[in-house]
């Protein structure tokens, strides 16, 4: 499909949105406006992109059509065969496209790992905050008991034991050098 006729081809499928594959292999979603000069605006967006393929997506998210750009293919006379350079360029473009997709997948995996790590750090901070609040409550209760004359000896021993446990420094693991 030539770029000049792409809008006519897209109109046949009446897509709700488009997924455009760029020449570098990345995929970009493109919204199709619902009213007004929708096809003129869609054509304007597509003209600004270097695309190789457009998937037409219906309102349920399913592919309802495919438009591929064949403007880059040279016009061959009858009996002509594509040159070895063209074949090699197509192979290299295919390898580059798959490599870029793999890079994107690795990036996504690293991003998910970072998100999980940040979630774990946030959860740890919540635990630290809760522990600190509990320590403050124990300290406040201990102050009340002391202010009221000390209370029973058993109660004082329990508060002192709780305070010692709360005040013990936490051991932070360190990397061994060497």
Return the pLDDT at 104: 92
Question: Per-domain residue ranges for the chain?
Answer: 1-71, 102-167
Q: Please, which residues bridge with residue 28 across strands?
A: 20
Share of the chain above pLDDT 90, in %: 21
Query: What are 20's strand-pairing partners?
Result: 28, 54
Check residue 80 and give its pLDDT.
53
H helices present in 4-83, as ranges: 6-13, 38-47
At 67 the three-state DSSP class reads strand
Strand partners, 31: 17
Instruction: Provide mean pLDDT across the span 36-63.
Output: 87
Overall residue count recorded for the chain in this entry: 178
| Reported pTM | 0.40
């Amino acid at each position: 499909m030539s770029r000049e006729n792409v809008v006519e081809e897209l109109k046949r499928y009446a897509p709700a949105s488009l997924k455009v594959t760029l020449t570098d292999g990345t995929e970009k979603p493109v919204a199709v406006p619902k009213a007004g000069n929708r096809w003129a605006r869609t054509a304007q967006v597509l003209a600004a992109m270097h695309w190789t393929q457009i998937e037409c997506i219906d309102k349920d998210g399913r592919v309802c059509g495919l438009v591929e750009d064949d403007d880059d293919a040279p016009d061959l006379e009858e009996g002509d065969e594509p040159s070895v350079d063209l074949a090699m360029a197509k192979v290299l473009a295919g390898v580059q496209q798959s490599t870029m997709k793999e890079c994107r997948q690795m990036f996504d995996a690293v991003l998910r790992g970072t998100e999980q790590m940040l979630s774990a750090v946030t959860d740890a901070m919540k635990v630290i905050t809760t522990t600190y609040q509990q320590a403050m409550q124990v300290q406040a209760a201990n102050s009340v008991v002391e202010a009221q004359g000390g209370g029973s000896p058993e109660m004082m021993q329990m508060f002192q034991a709780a305070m010692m446990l709360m005040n013990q420094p936490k051991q932070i693991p360190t990397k061994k050098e060497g």
